[in-house]
Chains A and B, each alone.
Chain A
């Protein structure tokens, strides 16, 4: 399995210096392969999140294409792309990503509820234990701290077990011990055959990486 971005760019139409647009990502090509953990680092505002959203099928590039194996993601209809993302690409965004009306356990099982099929309850129990949130299973998101919410989002993606895992600053709200736990979990997922991309502006993740990319001013150096 391979997730491949070919010369993707993203422009936002707003006044930026002399130009009438701002180019957040400039002609980036990138390949994520199964079995590898890639770390993408760079300063805030360098275009990491925009790039992650584009390769995750969430944001249409202004130019270029994104392929999952031979499938051109943005050539798909919304319903087909949504279904593909649900089954094959897991995105852990920055910030809160909990449905407030569902408990922690329900949030973790949520991807499996969208398109039917068996709920991955055993995996959910396992990842909750690994990430240290098993005692919060019946808690509501409003009762959790930022770090607990982040671990819940990570557990949700790992439970769904997609082929590609894209994590945006996954250790941002975590202490050192939890950072190690989470990065170890991503490393295990990569070893299990997943393609994992960890976007971070910190250096902690680099020790776990098979590939390190650096992003600056919208391009990968």
Chain B
């Protein structure tokens, strides 16, 4: 009971603190907090907005799972950003070059994304296992190498030949044939609700993200590999003594993390059918935030992903109602993250203290029973 209270108090406290800070931020510039929050909530009540929120939550969630796989063994894969963009770009290029039956075409595209991202993450793993290079530094460097160098260059190399139809919206890699695009799953949504309007489409990646979440849970909690992974995270020396090869685990965790990261870009690929000149960036870093907020727990991360997506999407309405600047949503994301991280730390310490006291009481109680 007390434990449950501890684990619920932390996110709740973070949420309240975030509301307070963002209310202050709104008041400071003369916006009405009730109006702004009200607009966001009523906007989010619409089915079309909810579809948008799920579309946004999907890459957040995948990105969070990718980061969480590393976190569970104390491995900081800060490089999800670069990894998924590399996978996305290669998948878009490979997908546009082949023409296959639908299932196979989609499989080839996703496999390409996962393999490329996984190999790119594996580079950091190899540097760590063979040379002891800290993965935080190497993944940050690999991010910059990918985003600033390789991707910018490959985008030019693989730019679709537009001929006379040149326009800035047509920039990007060659379009992927219809057979390579993951179908939308509006049909499934509409079984439960009304018809989705405004041409909004729920991406099929949503189902894949759920599957990834389930697989993540099973892998970590029900398999030998997951046990080894968690053991290495909690105490690498004990794990090693228990026969878990540390180097192989680092490499495996890194590559698995990268493989999941490869799926992040598939949402945008399905929506736009190519690698656009201006892909959404920052999903990798946001995913780290979602993983932290959700405490690497599959359910917690799903909740956090939806929260982040809700803030992102529903704040869009503020542009039209004018109740506040929509940037308030990003602030709330940042603050909820920082306060939650602190709150979890505090809750952990309180619980440890609690357990220590309980143990001490139990010991002294025993001591009385034992005759002197």
Partners in one complex: no
Binding site for B on A (CB under 8 A): none
Binding site for A on B (CB under 8 A): none
